[in-house]
Structure 1
């Protein structure tokens, strides 16, 4: 299969998983808020494919990030079964699945940001690019935390499932820290691979 066929196949899988996750979620409002990024990004990717196709690496990362969001939306982050298993493995007193979500919130946007910056010739590859990418990721993470704060103010106790703090007073700071770790990890582990794919795409 060529890239277009693979992407359409992946899009169909995500749509089916999205429908499945929304059939009987733990909390309908929480599900909607958690999967909203998927509902926004997926149509944008489909509409911009002709003019601005992304690297295979970035498409793959977005695919898995979407799955993480949909699983969190279906169960709520504090109730994802895999998170309870992780808590047992590592002797934790809270479900850590939300930290996977926030790690991905740094890992995937870092690659998206560097791809946009490089391909639009806004910044060249190097230390300044990595610094700006990390700043962008932290800005995204902070914006998400502000959205959670707004949801808490508007919904009151009804926002508890969306916030997923599980009684942890430093949840906001730790969420941003995991996004930071994700951004750094993506920059260190994937930059060379990503650069090769960008060079191939631009040539």
Structure 2
């Protein structure tokens, strides 16, 4: 893990702290496995699905997760997908979806460091305000790593986490200054906007329904671009 001399602590929030090359290879392997699955006959769907499922250790949905988005809203999303793809049933959807969640997926490109964003057909960059991120980070008690449990030292967010977020997402921030709370150059009437590289930027202040709509729309539009 890189050592930040200025902060006097290990730096777990930079691209070099992650095995980006392994992540890229894993994404490519998953694409291959899904392609093989679509060509397999007489296989056990349950066993294949379990093999292809990777769950985050932080996945801890709220108890009312099934009621956050109503059945009517889900049906509206389903109709949007069918109409956008010009098909009649979900069985006709011509692609599978791999959902990849994590920090630094769309970091500024660095020489010698693999870039997982290049493997994504669509990207959704959901940001939160600085005070919200700090509150969330400091509420965590620790992280499980190969080396054991890591706990942020005092002032870690201010000295490493936030500066790194700004440093390694400068390309996105230049186009969307409201990501760091600067509204002088942003468009207040635009809740989400697609970048040239296929990344949709939206705020976590939006409702769950709005974020879901942005995600679905990004996936559908990515499929259109691939045709």
The answer to whether the superposition gives a TM-score over 0.5 is no
Greater helix fraction, Structure 1 or Structure 2: 1
Larger radius of gyration between Structure 1 and Structure 2: 2
Q: TM-score, with normalisation over the residues of structure 2?
A: 0.23
